């Protein structure tokens, strides 16, 4: 998750890498996904992962997913499940959550 500390007027981003991990997996087995947390609306929306700097890391994954490749697909469930887990349980983002939990 990426945000500007002490700047509640700035939105935050979550960048995820989804797919297979382990000894038998390679970067071709994984894809990048990105979401924007809108503080005013109090929720997340999927954005194009290619717009984020992490998308150039070809050592971890080979494809940055677009919004259209996630929304309305089975991949959306995986992306939002991971996002929910981070949002609900990772205390490192308490500043971002503020009163939005």
Q: If you average pLDDT over every residue of the chain, what do you get?
A: 90
The residues spanned by each domain of the chain are 12-97
Q: What predicted TM-score, i.e. pTM, was given to this entire model?
A: 0.87
pLDDT value of residue 79: 97
Q: Tokens 């970067």 correspond to what residue? A: 27
Instruction: Give yes or no for residue 101 having a pLDDT over 50.
Output: no
pLDDT value of residue 65: 97
How far is the C-alpha of 24 from the C-alpha of 61, rounded, in Å? 14
Q: What is the pLDDT of residues 69-84, one digit of tens each?
A: 999 999 999 999 999 9
Mean pLDDT of 30-49: 92
Instruction: Give yes or no for residue 27 having a pLDDT over 90.
Output: yes
pLDDT value of residue 3: 85
Q: DSSP string covering the chain, please?
A: -B--TT-TTS-EEEEEEEE--STT--GGGEEEEEEEEETTTTEEEEE-GGGSGGGG-TTT-SEEPPGGGTTTSHHHHHHHHHHHHHHHH-GGGHHHHTT--
């Amino acid at each position: 998750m990426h945000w500007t500390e002490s700047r509640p007027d700035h939105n935050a981003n979550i960048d995820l890498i989804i797919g297979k991990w382990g000894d038998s997996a390679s970067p071709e087995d994984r894809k990048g996904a990105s979401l924007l947390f809108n503080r005013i609306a109090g929720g997340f929306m999927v954005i194009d992962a290619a717009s984020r700097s992490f998308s150039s890391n070809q050592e971890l994954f080979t494809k940055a997913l677009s919004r259209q490749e996630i929304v309305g697909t089975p991949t959306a469930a995986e992306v939002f499940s991971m996002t929910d887990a981070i949002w609900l349980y990772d205390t490192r983002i308490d500043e971002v959550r503020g009163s939005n939990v």
